[in-house]
Chains A and B, each alone.
Chain A
Amino acid sequence: MGEGLLFGEGDFPTRARHALADGQLRANLGAATTTIRERRAAAVGEVADWEELRSAGARIKDGSLAALDEMLVDFEEKFSASGGVVHWARDAQEANAIIVDLLNRSGAAEVVKVKSMTTQEIGLNEALAEAGIVAWETDLAELIVQLSADRPSHFLVPAIHRNRDEIRHIFQDHIPGIGTGLGNDPAELTAAARSYLRDKFLAAEVAISGANFAVAETGTLGVVESEGNGRMCLTLPRMLISVVGVEKVVPRWEDVGTLFQLLPRSSTAERMNPYTSTWSGVTPSDGPSEVHVVLLDNGRTNALADPVGKEALRCIRCSACLNVCPVYERVGGHAYGSVYPGPIGAVITPYLAGVETVASLPFASTLCGACYEVCPVKIDIPSLLVDLRAKHVAEANRKPLRSSEKVVMSALAWVMADAKRWQLVNRLGPLLGKLTRYRWARLAPLIGRWTENREPPVPPAHTLRNWRNNHQGLGEGMRHE
């Protein structure tokens, strides 16, 4: 089972209610997701064979997952042959232990980090802090999140929930030497981050990164980014450690061509992101002389063993599904309580961590299907959500504990199984309606949560059945009793 920071305390409804009450958050999110949705649509619209590209993306990832063991062994062989060192980690704890050990042996007390969902998933920064090692996040948004001791809320724009004034305050409070003179212009704020981190890049002995893909055939890793902090981390330090989920591997070098076309347009809505770096082991006198990769399972083989769930492993973390999701747009990333928010988070988290660990997540969706439409690797997220809901119900049925929903449903099943019982209830309904004068919901604390945000339907004064009985001549042929 996956562990680490995959999931947090509490359930989705509680966190969502909290988020919905925050007007500033909703405004920040609404503005940002609307902008990015429009830009993505334009970037994708420019590509004539986008649908074929999506299918190719799905095919590449599925082909790799079908022979994942061979892919990983192949990758290991090639990466090691060119001077890299490959480590394997079953879970978060094991991955963190490997990294802490490498750092202790290197003697480094500080590391610079490139934004990586995987290192967040395993709670690496926390593990490093415990080992007395300081980790500097170098991506602008990650820096904002780290300085304010916050949690990221989006894959791509982790500080999407913050606006410029909030960020200005965070910098003033936490970056040494920044006075009250700092303005709130994004360019000025960015320049402040640049000068703050410059010295850290030049001094860093070790960097930690994730990878957007690993190529089995050639033993190549790649990082896709915008700011150049990735290039700094991948190039300047003496030692580089990359944490890579086992599902990131693709079979052939040529496959990256497809990913390079799908990812930037889906993610930042660009034809191409400013920088993409690839490396295959160590290059003499260019970049780090010691290069490690930690291949991480942490629940991925759980997902792989699930006939439906394994589709989620195709994900290339572009975040397009977050930006189009009506639920994400309103509650934001934190409500999901996982490092993986949004529609994909609602499926990948339970498949990695176990359905019952995060039982409320698959219900955090309207099943509208917008996520599937935009997904560059065609993950059918709505079907996965339905599968997870079914798994949760099956699990709940195994328990003796009776939920109100279950009581109502089994009563209904008993009633509907017999025509006589059904008729009786049909006659009772209108009577009940009259008796309670439209306020029958109050009599039904069982469905109180359901009626909290909805108007309860009032039982009609006449049912179809008694209407028909009163109009004998019309429905003669339809009678079966």
Chain B
Amino acid sequence: MSEARSEILARIRAARITAPPQAPPVAPPQAPLSVSPQAPPGAPAPVGLVGLFCERVAHYDATVRRVATDSVAENLGSLIVAGSKVVAPRGFPQQWTAGLNALVVDGEELTKRDLDGFATVLSTCAVAVAETGTVILDGGVGQGRRALSLLPDHHVVVVKESQIVAGVDDAVGKLDPRKPLTWISGPSATADIELVRVRGVHGPRRLDVVVVGA
């Protein structure tokens, strides 16, 4: 145990005497405050969670499409630029990649620079949030390691309707914090120059979301 550690902890305990806390240690648990889905004034009310999710994703300059279970492969094929290099994590459903000849499945032998050489990465997700148009990856089956969904310039995420929850608190409740999580809301962006929003800095510059029934 370091000297710094014990000194800092001692100072914190001493502070409780000079400035006694008014609040109970640890806030009392409360019902999650999920922001109720609200349409912006004037806009037609979105139909249910899936509709809201799609609307909010589209708001970020990402494309979003709802497709039937049996037409995923076809849709993925149409999102990929012909002849470009595509990578997918292990466990990404094979029936969805049927038409993709040049697909590479990620493995330990692929270096960072190899990953950087792919144009497109395909992945699934763990949870999606309607209210904020967010997809969350937790490294589970079909999602891959974090570098994989980061280095290619184009990310296609397949979301199942059943994975969409209403609010941020609902998502937090479903996620396992021991896994490395990546919350993605639209393509990477910056507003660092005169607050002008520019799409695409270091993360994928193009994000396509495919929502599949059930």
A interface residues, Cβ below 8 angstroms from B: 28, 31-32, 35-36, 46-49, 52-53, 56, 59-60, 62-70, 72-73, 82, 87-90, 94, 138-141, 144, 157-160, 162-164, 167, 186-187, 189-190, 193-194, 197-198, 201-202, 215, 218, 220, 226-229, 231-232, 234-236, 246, 251-258, 260-261, 268, 270-280, 283, 285-287, 295, 297, 301, 304-307, 310
Contacts and interface: CB of A to CB of B under 8 A. Distances in A.
Interface in B114-173: 116, 129, 131-134, 139, 145-147, 150, 167-169, 171-173
B21 interface: yes
B202 to A, nearest CB: 4
B189 interface: yes
Contacts of A48: 35-36, 38
Interface string B1-32: 01011011101111110111111111111101
A167 B193 contact: yes
Given A56-B33, A232-B202, A261 B168 contact: yes
Q: Which 10 interchain pairs have the tightest Cβ spacing?
A: A228-B203, A67-B25, A66-B21, A63-B27, A62-B23, A228-B202, A301-B11, A227-B201, A257-B172, A305-B15
B182 A274 contact: no
Nearest to B132: A272
* Interface size band for B: 35 or more
19 contacts: A36-B195, A67-B25, A70-B25, A82-B178, A140-B190, A186-B194, A229-B202, A232-B202, A235-B146, A246-B12, A254-B172, A255-B27, A258-B33, A258-B169, A260-B168, A272-B183, A283-B139, A306-B18, A310-B19
A39 B113 CA distance: 39
A246 B8 contact: yes
Contacts of B184: 274-275
Contacts of A87: 2
Nearest to A256: B172
Interface in B90-121: 108, 112-113, 116
A74 B172 CA distance: 20
A88 B8 contact: yes
A32 B24 contact: no
Given A140-B201, A218-B177, A228 B15 contact: no
Given A73-B9, A201-B202, A228 B178 contact: no
Contacts of A285: 108, 145
B182 A157 contact: no
Given A65-B21, A280-B177, A297-B8, A227 B202 contact: yes
B183 A275 contact: yes
A252 B25 CA distance: 12
Given A88-B8, A280-B177, A46 B40 contact: yes
Given A140-B193, A215-B177, A227-B189, A271 B131 contact: yes
Given A260-B168, A280-B178, A307-B18, A69 B183 contact: no
A295 B4 CA distance: 10
Given A46-B38, A186-B193, A285-B108, A232 B150 contact: yes
Contact of B19 (A274, A276, A307): A307
